[in-house]
Amino acid sequence: MDVARMILGWIILVFVSLASAEDDEGTDWWTQEQRVRKKVLENYDKGSLPRRDFNGTTTVHMHVEIFGVTIDDATQIMSVNSWVWMLWNDQRLKWDYKDYGGLNVIFFGADEIWKPDIIVYNNAKINEIDHYGDVHLIALKSGTVYWIPPAEMHVECPQDLRYWPYDKQSCTVLLGSWTTHGWQMNLMTWHGNITKLELTNYLKLSHHWQITEAHLIRNEMYYECCPEPYITIELKINLVRVSPAFVYTVVFPGLGIALMTLVQFLLPYDSTKKLIISSCTAVLTCIYVIYLATAVPPQGNSCPIILRFFGQTLVMVVISVVLTAIVLRLASGHHTLTTAPHPKVKVLLTGPLSKVLLTQDMASQVGRSFGLEGDDEQVLDAGQACYTPEWQLVAASLDRIVCYLYVIILTISLLAYVAPLA
């Protein structure tokens, strides 16, 4: 529905009424309006329903024009700025326009005639029950009444932050009568039970959230206690977070840290530069995780993939730093180890697994009989075997395993993060 056209039509209608409202005796339009108001409001009870249908049910048609949506990440409360359209027929306000100088439309104050007690059932601010602005109602000569108040509605909207900062949310506003059931007041949408809202009036460029789709859905609910239906109008809004700045504050720094982490695993296991880069990467990852913890909304019902990924990255970087320090310590040649690794570990690391881990050169330098007679281990002056190469192989193999795990986790995280966005 084009709001501008309807408002323009009403303005034209009012001016036509003003132009044709003078009767033969020169009575002006304002006098005619006073006469109509006096007639229809005499003995009018604004507390009673304007029963129009044969079964005594008042039908109220509803529509919503959305002009803005915001979500407070700290409180998980969605605020909707809108116009709520309500239309019904009140036969008590009907008049014959021929008897009143052709007057066919008048205006009533918000407290002068009956209007439906539609409130937000899932209101997040209980002390704010009156959601609508104090605007006039428009009554036509047929008894049809339009009420189009501006409304600010606040509802709770728990967020699924799994794909933050490119997450999508679905929030619901439940509208319904507080005191009447479906046999007394029947709520309807503009077009059947489901109405898709047009978003032409939504201020897309001035909000942190972009509405992708919005519907009005009519629901009937029955309870065991009562035979009558209870009707609600559900405003369902699908949103996507608009976050261009996060590309530079979250995505690019995250990719940089991930690349640095990957580079450190590519350096030689006994390189001192590997330890320096690993330590720097660990510090940067800690700082980045702390930043993400402050940037991510605190009340989400799920942990973002990006935060879990860098938490796991931090663990693997720390493991890599420890293993690098051990390898460098052993490679210095100033310390010897006289206790051999478990035989099964040695057989495993010197077997086909060494090809997968790319440690064949180190495996070829390791003996097979663990310091016994005929072993090719380095023997100390005291007659004890030195198992430093074996432990270097163990540390280097663990470093490669951690590298492979990191690549696997990085790939899975990227696929899980990008696939829903494609």
Instruction: Tell me what percent of the residues of the chain surpass a pLDDT of 90.
Output: 18
Give the integer Cα–Cα distance in Å for 175 and 326.
65
Question: Do 57 and 186 meet the contact criterion of CB atoms below 8 Å apart?
Answer: yes
Q: pLDDT tens digit string along 348-393?
A: 888 887 888 877 777 777 754 444 444 444 444 444 556 777 777 8
Give the integer Cα–Cα distance in Å for 329 and 352.
27
pLDDT of residue 391: 75
Give the integer Cα–Cα distance in Å for 393 and 343.
13
Range with the lowest mean pLDDT among 14-23, 143-152, 168-177, 227-236? 14-23
Q: Output 233 or 293, whichever has higher pLDDT.
A: 233
Instruction: Name residue 90's amino acid.
Output: D
Q: Three-class SS of residue 186?
A: strand
What average pLDDT is seen over the chain?
79
- Domains of the chain (ranges plus CATH)? 3-241 (2.70.170.10), 246-421 (no CATH)
pLDDT band per the 50, 70, 90 thresholds, residue 233: very high
pLDDT of residue 17: 54
Q: What is the DSSP string of 107-150?
A: EE-TTTS----EEETTBS-TT----B----EEEETTSEEEE--E
- Find the mean pLDDT for residues 160-172: 87
The residues near 236 (Cβ < 8 Å, ≥ 6 apart) are: 170, 171, 172, 214, 215, 216, 217
According to DSSP, residue 25 is labeled: T
User: Residues of 7-33 as b/e, b for ≥16 C-beta within 10 angstroms?
Assistant: eeeeeeebeebeeebebeeeeebebbb
pLDDT of residue 113: 92
Nearest to 93, CA basis, from 129, 145, 22: 145
Q: Output 48 or 235, whichever has higher pLDDT.
A: 235
Phi, psi of 147 (to 5 degrees): -135, 120
Structure tokens at 16: 């036509």
Range with the lowest mean pLDDT among 152-166, 199-213, 276-290, 323-337? 323-337
Give the integer Cα–Cα distance in Å for 223 and 212.
34
pLDDT of residue 8: 47
Range with the lowest mean pLDDT among 69-78, 192-201, 239-248? 192-201
How far CA 83 is from CA of 78, 301, 367, in Å, comes to 16, 31, 82
For residue 205, is pLDDT > 60? no
Structure tokens at 367: 């003996």
Nearest to 354, CA basis, from 402, 323, 324, 397: 397
